[in-house]
C-alpha cells in the first residue's frame, strides 16, 4: 500500500494546490467518473502559448485529488506544448501496469512519478487520469476561443 | 449459534487467494454472488449433453433442451411462489423492469389492442417511485414519464434509510404505477410491501417490485405479497450471469403488449403484420439464455435445500455482527438502519475524510473485497449527503470470521489515513 | 480434399448418442451451434476464479473480471473487423436489432438530444427490409413503422431464393433504413452486401446487417462491408447462449439514444433526470452476461485458430455434398440456390406430400438432428408456396460421412411415407 | 417408428374424414402451432346437448391431420359430455409420455389409442392436441351462442 499511497500523494490529496475558480476562463471542462460519481472541473486561460492561469475544483478519492493538485503545480504557467507533452507521458505511465518508464521520462515527470503504483490497479487508472482528461479537453476549448491575444482571467481562490 | 451455515466449501471461487496469497474475504455479494459447484456443473452438463434450440427442433436433443428450459421456469416460479406461466426470462432484472415500462409505453403508442388500454398513460397520470431505488428501477420510469407526459413522483427516504411511509399520500388517484424496491441495495432496509400494495390498490395503481436483493436473502412469496410485477436477477442469487426474470400476474401478462420482437414470440407473420403468442413466450424474443436458466434452476434448488428461513436467520446474525463492528470504528457512519431488524446483511457506510475508493483499496490490500461508489443509487446517496460510500454485503457462504476480518481491516483503514 | 477439417472431437456433445444408442448426426447448427471444450472451460474458469461485478468494484477480482470482459469485447471486435468501442453486448442478435430499431423510435420521441435528430422518422419516411428476413430482422421494423408512421417496403426474393437485386429501386430518397440479412437461414443464399450498401448510400439511408448466419461461417469484415449496424449471436458461432453483439459505426453509436436504461450506463442521476455514458456503455444497462462474453472470446479464438477461410472452404464442400445428395432424392425440392456458389451449407427443402414434422421425425429416429418448421421466416416460406420445410445445416465440426448418413436417411423418409 | 406412425394414423392423415365447412356454425375456433405454422379450424353446431355437426379444415403433419380426422369420427353426432370427456382422456394419454392409460380408458379411446406413442415425443404433443384445443374452444363458444334450440347448419363438404 505504501507503494500506491506515496507520501507526496497523501500530502497533495490534503493540501490541494490550485483549487479555485477563474472568473472568465478560455477553456473549461467538467468530467465525471460514473462508477463513483467523482467529479472535477478544470479551467484554463491561455496567453502567448502558455497556460497562464489554471484552477480546478472537484471531489474524489486521494488519487484523483492528488493528481489534480500535482497537475496544477506542474503545468500552471508552463508552455502549452510542455503541458501537453507531460500529459502524454503521465498517461503512458499510468497505463504501464505499475512499471516505471525509462529514466528520462521518469525525470520529466518529477513528483508525478509517485503515481507509478496506480497502474497496478486498473480500477484506479481513471482516478489518476480524470483531471488530465479535463485539462486536455479544456485546452482544446481554449484554443478554439483564443484566436488573438486574450484577456487574462483572474483567479478567485 | 445454530443459525450459522458453513457452506463456503461448496463455492470454488471462495478458496482462491488475492493480492499475493491473502485469503479472499468476499463481501460483495450485494453486487454479484458467487456460484456453488452444483450450478457450474448443471450449466456444463447442459452444454455437453442437452444443448439445442428450444421450442423448435423435432429431434431428441431439442426436446431435452426444451424440457430443461421449462423445468427451470417451473422451479423458479415455485421458488418465488407464482405460477409457471407468470415467469418471463430476461437477461437481468434491469431488462425485466424495462420490459414492464416499455409495455406501458407500447400500450400508450396504441400497440397491443384494446386489452392493452389499461396500460395507457396520459399527461394527467403519475408514476411513483422511491428515493431509495437502484437506477434500474428509476431511470426506466423517468424515460417512460418523459415519453408519455406522465409525471414522476417519489416516496422519500427517512434519516435511517427506510422508505418514509408517512408520506404514502404521494400515491393518489392520479397514480398509475408504483415501482419500489423490496430491499435497498444501499441501506439494506426491507420494505413493508403490504402497506404500499394496500395503498396502491386503494387508488387502482399497478405495483412493480424490485426483488433483486430480497430474492437471494429472504423467503419471497410474490403471490402473497400481492404485487403485480416483480423483477430479479440470477447472478445475485447464486445463479449465472446473463439470466433474470420478470414475474407478472397472469392476467396482466396476457394484456401487456410485447417488448422485444423477433423469432419465437410470434404466431402469424406476413410482411405487413404480425400476431403474437400468449405469455410468457410473447416476451421471449429470439434464442434464450437456455444454459443459464438451467444454472439458475440449480441455484434455486441449492437455496431451497439450505432453506430460505435458515439462510435469512444466518444473514441476520451476520448483519448484527457487521453493524456492531462498524459501530465500534471511530467516526464511521452507517447509511441505513443501525439495528438489524427488517434489514439485510448489506452495510454501506461513510468514513469521514476518507474517500470510499481509498477505503476499498486498503481493504482489498488485506484480501477483503467490498464495493465502493454509489452502488447505482445516486439519489439515495444524495439523501445522505454523500456522493459515494463503501458497502460490505454478505451471502449464504459468509462466515462470522470474515466479518471479523473486515472489521479489523476497517480499523486499519482509519489508522492509515489518520 | 485438404479443405476438410476434422474437429468433432473438440466438441463434447457430439460424442453422445440418441434414440437408443444411435450416434448423433447434428445438422442443426443453423439453429444453434455446439460448443468446443475450450469455450466450456473458459466460462468455467471465469466462474471459478474471476467472477465479480465489472466496472464497479475496487477489489482485485472485480479488476480481473473487468479485464476479461473488455478483452472479450476487443477479441470479438477484431474478429468482425471493427474497433473496440463499436461492439455493444446484447443477449442475442434479436436484442441487438431491437436496440437499433428502438434507437430510431426514441429519437422520434425526441429522446437523445439534437445529435439524435438524424434518426427521427416521420410518416413520409420508408424502411426497407427483405422477404428473406428472419423474423428478428422484420418484426422490430414493422413495430417501428407502426409506431412512427413510416412505411415498410421490401426487396422480394427470386425463385432460387436470393434477394432480387433487380428490384433495388424499392430503395428511394424516402428510404431511411435498409435492414437485410448477410445470409439467409432458409435458403443459405449469401447477399451481395456491397451492392445494397452502395444503393443505400446513394439515397442516404442507414444500413443494418443481420450477420447471424454469416459470422460463424464466413470471414466477415464489417468495416470493409461498409454497413452502419450489424447484429450477431454467440450461440450460433460456437459460443454460449445468452450473449450476442451489436456493431454500430462509432459516430452513429455516439448519436443514438439509449434503449434499456438502468445501472452502469448513466453519468449523473437525480430523481428528475439522468445523463448517459458514451457508447458502448450507454447501451449496456445492468449487470452484463460477463461469463458468456468470456465464453464467446474463447469461441472466436477457436474460429480464428481454424481460420475462417479454411472453415468456409470446408463448409463449401459440405454444401456441395448436401445439394448433390438432396437432388438425388426423388421429388425433393430445395428452397434456395441449387448450386453451392455464394451459398452456405444450409439446405432447406420440401418433400412433397410429407410434412416436415414427419420428415424430421423419421430422421431423428435414425439419430439425425435437423430442423423443421418455418425457421422463423414465414414470409420466405410463403414466397416458396410452402408453410414449413426441413432444414439441414452444417458447421465447422460436420463431416462428409454425416452428410451421407443424412442423405441415406432422407431416402428412407421418402420410402416410409410412399 | 411403427409405434409412433401406426397404420390408423397414416391412413387417417390421408383420408381426412370430416374435412369441410359449416355454413353457420354455433362455434368456431382457429388454432395455430407457432413452431411450424400448422393451422386448423374446427366448427361445431350443437343441438339438444349433442354435437350435431362438426367440420374441420387445416394443414399440418400426419399426426395433427390424423388427430383431426379421428376426432371427427369419434365426436360427430355425440353428446357433448361424451365429447368433452373423450377430450380429457385423450389429453391425459398424450401427456403420459408414451405409456398406456388403464384398460378402461384405453377402451374408451378406441382408435385414438393409436396415438399412445406420440407422448414419447414432447415436440409432437402439440400436433396431436391442436385439433382438440380447437374443439374445446369451439364448444365454449357454441354454448355461449346457443341458449335456446338453434338452427342446424349444413355441411358444405
Ligand atoms: C438469420 C438470422 N437472424 C437472426 C436470428 C436471431 O438470432 P437469435 O435468436 O440468437 O437472437 C437468427 C437465428 O435464430 C438467424 O438465423
Ligand atoms: C436493488 C437492485 N435493483 C436492481 C439491480 C439491477 O440488477 P441487474 O444489474 O442484475 O439488472 C440491482 C443490482 O445491480 C439491485 O441491487
Chain D CB contacts of C365 below 8 Å: 1
Of A34, A122, A123, the CB nearest to C266: A34
The reply to whether ligand 2 has any atom less than 6 angstroms from the CB of B94 is yes
SS3 A109: helix
First to last CA, chain D: 33
Subunits with 3+ C-beta pairs closer than 8 A to D? B, C
SS3 track for chain C: CCCCCCCHHHCHHHHCEECCCEECEECECCCCCCCCHHHHHHHHHHHHHHCCCCCCCCCHHHHHHHHHHHHHHHHHHHHCCCCHHHEEEECCHHHHHHHHHHHHHHHHCCCCCHHHHHHCCCCCCEEEEECCCCHHHCHHHHHHHHHHCCEEEEECECCCCCECHHHHHHCCCCEEEEEEECECCCCCEECCHHHHHHHHHHHCCEEEEECCCCCCCCCCCHHHHCCCEEEEEHHHCCCCCCCEEEEECHHHHHHCCCCCCCCCCEEEECCCCEEECCCCHHHCCCCCCHHHHHHHHHHHHHHHHHCHHHHHHHHHHHHHHHHHHHHCCCCCEECCCCCCCCECCEEEEEECCECHHHHHHHHHHCCEECEEECCCCHHHHHHCCCCCEEEEECCCCCCHHHHHHHHHHHHHHHHHCC
**B44 φ, ψ to 5°?**
-65, -45
pLDDT tens for each residue of A66-92: 999 999 999 999 999 999 999 999 999
pLDDT tens for each residue of B330-354: 999 999 999 999 999 999 999 999 9
Of A4, A37, A121, the CB nearest to B374: A37
Q: How far is the CA of C286 from the centre of ligand 2 (A)?
A: 7
Interface touch C16/B49, C-beta < 8 Å: yes
Residue of B nearest to D35 (CA): B56
Of C62, C94, C361, the CB nearest to B58: C361
pLDDT tens for each residue of A39-54: 999 999 999 999 999 9
Q: Is the pLDDT of residue D35 over 80?
A: no
Q: How far is the CA of C235 from the centre of ligand 1 (A)?
A: 10
Return d(Cα B300, Cα B302) in angstroms, integer.
5
- A1 pLDDT tier (thresholds 50, 70, 90): confident
Q: How far is the CA of C232 from the centre of ligand 1 (A)?
A: 7
Cell readout for C270 is 437525480
Alpha-carbon distances, residue A32 vs A145, C202, C209, C275 (angstroms): 23, 40, 35, 11
pLDDT given for residue A34 in this prediction: 80
Segments making up each domain of chain D, as ranges: 2-156
SS3 D28: strand
Q: Is the pLDDT of residue B186 over 90?
A: yes
β partners of residue C371: C391
Best C61, C261, C267 member to test A by mutation, with max A CBs in 10 Å, is C267
β partners of residue D45: D53
Q: How far is the CA of B233 from the centre of ligand 2 (A)?
A: 7
Helix extents (H) in chain D: 7-15, 62-75, 80-94, 103-109, 122-145
Yes or no: say if B321 and B341 are a contact pair by the CB < 8 Å rule: no
The reply to whether ligand 1 has any atom less than 6 angstroms from the CB of C185 is yes
Sites in chain C below the pLDDT cut of 70: 1-3
pLDDT given for residue D147 in this prediction: 59
The reply to whether ligand 1 has any atom less than 6 angstroms from the CB of C292 is no
More confident residue, A55 or A143: A55
What is the CB-side half-sphere exposure of residue A110 using CA atoms within 13 A?
8
Which residue out of C135, C187, C211, C212 has the highest number of ligand 1 atoms within 8 Å of its CB and is therefore the one to mutate?
C212
pLDDT tens for each residue of B119-148: 999 999 999 999 999 999 999 999 999 999
Q: How far is the CA of C94 from the centre of ligand 1 (A)?
A: 7
- Average pLDDT of the residues in B93-108: 98
CATH of region B8-30+308-416, choose from 3.30.590.10, 3.90.1150.10, 3.90.1210.10, 3.40.190.100 = 3.90.1150.10
Nearest of C123, C154, C121, C124 to residue C138 by alpha carbon: C154
Q: How far is the CA of C45 from the centre of ligand 2 (A)?
A: 24
Interface touch A1/B373, C-beta < 8 Å: no
Chain B CB contacts of A64 below 8 Å: 357
Q: Is the pLDDT of residue D157 over 50?
A: no
- Average pLDDT of the residues in D129-155: 79
C235 touches chain B (CB under 8 A): yes
CA distance A78 to chain B (A): 31
Q: Which CATH architecture has domain A2-156?
A: Alpha-Beta Complex (3.90)
Interface touch B135/C266, C-beta < 8 Å: yes
Instruction: Return the DSSP state at A119.
Output: G
Known catalytic residue at C212: no
Which CATH class name applies to C42-304?
alpha beta
Query: Using beta carbons and an 8 Å cutoff, which residues of D are at the interface with B?
Result: 32, 34-35, 37, 121-124
SS3 B102: helix
Which residue out of B30, B32, B99, B134 has the highest number of ligand 2 atoms within 8 Å of its CB and is therefore the one to mutate?
B134
Residues C246, C250, C254: CA angle, nearest 5 degrees:
95
pLDDT given for residue A114 in this prediction: 96
Q: Is the pLDDT of residue D151 over 60?
A: no
Of C62, C134, C291, the CB nearest to B241: C291
Subunits with 3+ C-beta pairs closer than 8 A to A? B, C
**B77 φ, ψ to 5°?**
-60, -45
Residue of D nearest to C413 (CA): D1
Of B358, B365, B381, the CB nearest to A61: B358
What is the CB-side half-sphere exposure of residue B156 using CA atoms within 13 A?
9
pLDDT tens for each residue of B249-270: 999 999 999 999 999 999 999 9
* Residue C370 CB contacts under 8 Å (≥ 6 apart), including other chains: B57, B58, B59, C27, C28, C359, C360, C363, C364, C390, C391, C392, C393, C406
Averaged pLDDT score across all residues of chain B: 97
B416 touches chain A (CB under 8 A): yes
Which amino acids of B are annotated catalytic? 376
pLDDT given for residue B58 in this prediction: 78
Interface touch B40/C44, C-beta < 8 Å: yes
- Average pLDDT of the residues in B274-289: 97
Residue of B nearest to D31 (CA): B267
Catalytic residue selected from C365, C376, C378, C412: C376
pLDDT given for residue B418 in this prediction: 86
Q: How far is the CA of C183 from the centre of ligand 2 (A)?
A: 37
First to last CA, chain B: 36
Interface touch A32/C55, C-beta < 8 Å: no
Interface touch A61/B355, C-beta < 8 Å: yes
Ligand nearest to the CA of B179: 2
pLDDT given for residue B130 in this prediction: 98
Q: Is the pLDDT of residue B391 over 50?
A: yes
Interface touch C242/B154, C-beta < 8 Å: no
C210 touches chain B (CB under 8 A): no
pLDDT given for residue B2 in this prediction: 56
- D153 pLDDT tier (thresholds 50, 70, 90): low
Chain C CB contacts of A35 below 8 Å: 55-56
Interface touch B63/D121, C-beta < 8 Å: yes
CA distance B63 to chain D (A): 6
Would residue C161 be called left, alpha or beta, if left means φ above 0 and alpha means ψ between -120 and 50 degrees? Answer: left
Amino acid at each position: 500500500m505504501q507503494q500506491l499511497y506515496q507520501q507526496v500523494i497523501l500530502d497533495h490529496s490534503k493540501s490541494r494546490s490550485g483549487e479555485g475558480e477563474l472568473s472568465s476562463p478560455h477553456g473549461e471542462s467538467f468530467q465525471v467518473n460514473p462508477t463513483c460519481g467523482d467529479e472535477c472541473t478544470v479551467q484554463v486561460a491561455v496567453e502567448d502559448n502558455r497556460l497562464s492561469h489554471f484552477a480546478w475544483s472537484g471531489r474524489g478519492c486521494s488519487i484523483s485529488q492528488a493528481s489534480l493538485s500535482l497537475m496544477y503545480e506542474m503545468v500552471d504557467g508552463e508552455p502549452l506544448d510542455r503541458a501537453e507533452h507531460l500529459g502524454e507521458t503521465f498517461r503512458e505511465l499510468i497505463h504501464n501496469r505499475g512499471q516505471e518508464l525509462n529514466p528520462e521520462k521518469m525525470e520529466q515527470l518529477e513528483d508525478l512519478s509517485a503515481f507509478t503504483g496506480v497502474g497496478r490497479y486498473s480500477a484506479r487508472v481513471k482516478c489518476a487520469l480524470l483531471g488530465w482528461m479535463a485539462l486536455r479537453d479544456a485546452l482544446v476549448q481554449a484554443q478554439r476561443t483564443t484566436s488573438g491575444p486574450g484577456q487574462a482571467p483572474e483567479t478567485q481562490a | 449459534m445454530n443459525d450459522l451455515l458453513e457452506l463456503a466449501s461448496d463455492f470454488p471461487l471462495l478458496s482462491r487467494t488475492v493480492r499475493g496469497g491473502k485469503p479472499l474475504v468476499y463481501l460483495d455479494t450485494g453486487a454479484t454472488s458467487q456460484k456453488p459447484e452444483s450450478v457450474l456443473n448443471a450449466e456444463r452438463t447442459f452444454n455437453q449433453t442437452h444443448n439445442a434450440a428450444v421450442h423448435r427442433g423435432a429431434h431428441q436433443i431439442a426436446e431435452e433442451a426444451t424440457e430443461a428450459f421449462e423445468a427451470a421456469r417451473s422451479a423458479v416460479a415455485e421458488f418465488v411462489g407464482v405460477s409457471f406461466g407468470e415467469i418471463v426470462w430476461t437477461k437481468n432484472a434491469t431488462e425485466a423492469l424495462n420490459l414492464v415500462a416499455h409495455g406501458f409505453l407500447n400500450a400508450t403508442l396504441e400497440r397491443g389492442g384494446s386489452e392493452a388500454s389499461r396500460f395507457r398513460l396520459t399527461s394527467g397520470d403519475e408514476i411513483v417511485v422511491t428515493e431509495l431505488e437502484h437506477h434500474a428501477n428509476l431511470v426506466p420510469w423517468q424515460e417512460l414519464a418523459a415519453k408519455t407526459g406522465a409525471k414522476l413522483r417519489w416516496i422519500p427516504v427517512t434519516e435511517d434509510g427506510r422508505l418514509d411511509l408517512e408520506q404514502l399520500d404521494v400515491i393518489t388517484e392520479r397514480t398509475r404505477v408504483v415501482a419500489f424496491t423490496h430491499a435497498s441495495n444501499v441501506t439494506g432496509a426491507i420494505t413493508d410491501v403490504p402497506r404500499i400494495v394496500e395503498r396502491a390498490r386503494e387508488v387502482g395503481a399497478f405495483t412493480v417490485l424490485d426483488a433483486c436483493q430480497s430474492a437471494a436473502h429472504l423467503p419471497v412469496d410474490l403471490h402473497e405479497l400481492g404485487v403485480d410485477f416483480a423483477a430479479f436477477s440470477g447472478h445475485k442469487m447464486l445463479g449465472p450471469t446473463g439470466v433474470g426474470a420478470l414475474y407478472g400476474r397472469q392476467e396482466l401478462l396476457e394484456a401487456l403488449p410485447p417488448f422485444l420482437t423477433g423469432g419465437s414470440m410470434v404466431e402469424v407473420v406476413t410482411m405487413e403484420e404480425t400476431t403474437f403468442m400468449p405469455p410468457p413466450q410473447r416476451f421471449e424474443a429470439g434464442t434464450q439464455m437456455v444454459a443459464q436458466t438451467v444454472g439458475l434452476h440449480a441455484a434455486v434448488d441449492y437455496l431451497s435445500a439450505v432453506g430460505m428461513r435458515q439462510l435469512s436467520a444466518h444473514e441476520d446474525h451476520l448483519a448484527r455482527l457487521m453493524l456492531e463492528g462498524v459501530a465500534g470504528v471511530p467516526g464511521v457512519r452507517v447509511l441505513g438502519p443501525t439495528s438489524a431488524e427488517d434489514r439485510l446483511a448489506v452495510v454501506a457506510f461513510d468514513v469521514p475524510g476518507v474517500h470510499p475508493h481509498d477505503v476499498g483499496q486498503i481493504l482489498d490490500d488485506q484480501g477483503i473485497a467490498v464495493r465502493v461508489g454509489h452502488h447505482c443509487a445516486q439519489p439515495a446517496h444524495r439523501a445522505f449527503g454523500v456522493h459515494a460510500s463503501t458497502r460490505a454485503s454478505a451471502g449464504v457462504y459468509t462466515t462470522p470470521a470474515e466479518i471479523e476480518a473486515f472489521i479489523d481491516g476497517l480499523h486499519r483503514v482509519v489508522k492509515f489515513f489518520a
